[in-house]
Amino acid sequence: MGAAELASRFRVAGVAFADTEHGLVRVQVSRGGSAGELFLQGAQVTAWQPAGQRPVIFTSARAVFAPGKAIRGGVPVILPWFGPHPTAPTAPQHGVARTAPWRLERVEEAMADGIGLTLALDGAGSDWWPEAAVARLRVVFGSELRLDLAVENRAAQAIEFEEALHAYFAISDIASVSVTGLEGCRFIDKTAGGARRPPTGGRLTLASETDSVYLDTPATVAIEDPAWRRRILVEKEGAASTIVWNPWADKAAAMADLGPDQWQGMICVEAGNVADNKISLAAGATHRMSTRISVAGG
C-alpha cells in the first residue's frame, strides 16, 4: 500500500504517512511532545526523540533510502542471521528482514502518551529463508521506545535463527561515553577473528573499532553520556546477547553511507540472540524478544 491508502485505512491522530522520492513509505508519529519515524521497508525505526530531549536514535546523514538498500542507522531488524550467512557468502549481510517490505497491520494509541505500530513479514518464499515462519514487530513511540519482535514457526519441524534489534544511538562523542552492565560477561571479539574474551570486570569504553557479541547478558545495560548529562537505558526480555559496535575512523571513512565525520556521534548497543545464544524454535512455537529504551537526565 502507498501512503494515501494507508492514511485512509489507519486514521489515528498524530500519525502521518508519506511516499519518499524513491518509493518507500515513511510513517511519522507525534504525540505528547515525543516524535518518531519508521519506514515500512525493514519495519525500521529511523528516529525517536522524547519530549524535552535531544534525539536518541542516530541515523546517518548519508543514509540511502531506496528499495532493497539497507538504511544506515535507526533500529534495523536483523533476522534470521547476524553478520554474514554461515554457509552462503552471497547472501545479504544480517539477513533478509532489514530490506524486505513489511506489512502494516495495526496502528493504535498505546500507553498514556504513545502510538503503537504492528508490522508483519512472511518468511516463506524467501530465497534465503524458505521456512514457513512469520515475524511480527510492534513498535511503541512515546516517552519510551519499545520494540517487541515475535517469530512464529509455522513449519512442521524446528527452525534455528539469529536475531537482533540493531539500535544506533546518538551520543555526544564516542571518546567520552561508556557502557555499563556488561562487566561480568564474556564476549566474542569480531575484530579479532571471533576470539573469545573473558569478562573485563569494568565499564566498557571504546578507543578503537569495536564489534563485540556479549553472551548471556543481563536484562539492562546503560549508555553513560556525561557531556549530554544523560543516561540511555536499554532494557530487554527474551534476548540473551548484547552487541556493541562502532566502526571507528578508517572503516567509517570507507562506508559511503556513513563517511569520515559521523562515527564519533554514534554507538550501537543491540539486544539479540546471536552465536551461542541463537534460537531453536519448535514447530508451532513462537519466540518473543523485546527491548525498551528510555532516557534519564538531559
Please report, as a single letter, which amino acid is at residue 67.
P
What whole-number distance in Å separates Cα of residue 67 and Cα of residue 197? Answer: 38
What order of strands is seen across the sheet that includes strand 44-49?
15-19, 25-31, 34-39, 44-49
Give yes or no: 94 in active site. Answer: no
Give yes or no: 144 in active site. Answer: no
What whole-number distance in Å separates Cα of residue 131 and Cα of residue 285? Answer: 13
Active-site entry in 85, 131, 270, 287: 270
Q: Is 153 helix (H, G, I), strand (E, B) or coil?
A: strand
* CB of 153 closer than 8 Å to CB of 283: yes
What whole-number distance in Å separates Cα of residue 45 and Cα of residue 39? Answer: 7
What whole-number distance in Å separates Cα of residue 295 and Cα of residue 185? Answer: 24
Active-site entry in 85, 166, 235, 287: 166
Active centre residues (catalytic): 166, 270
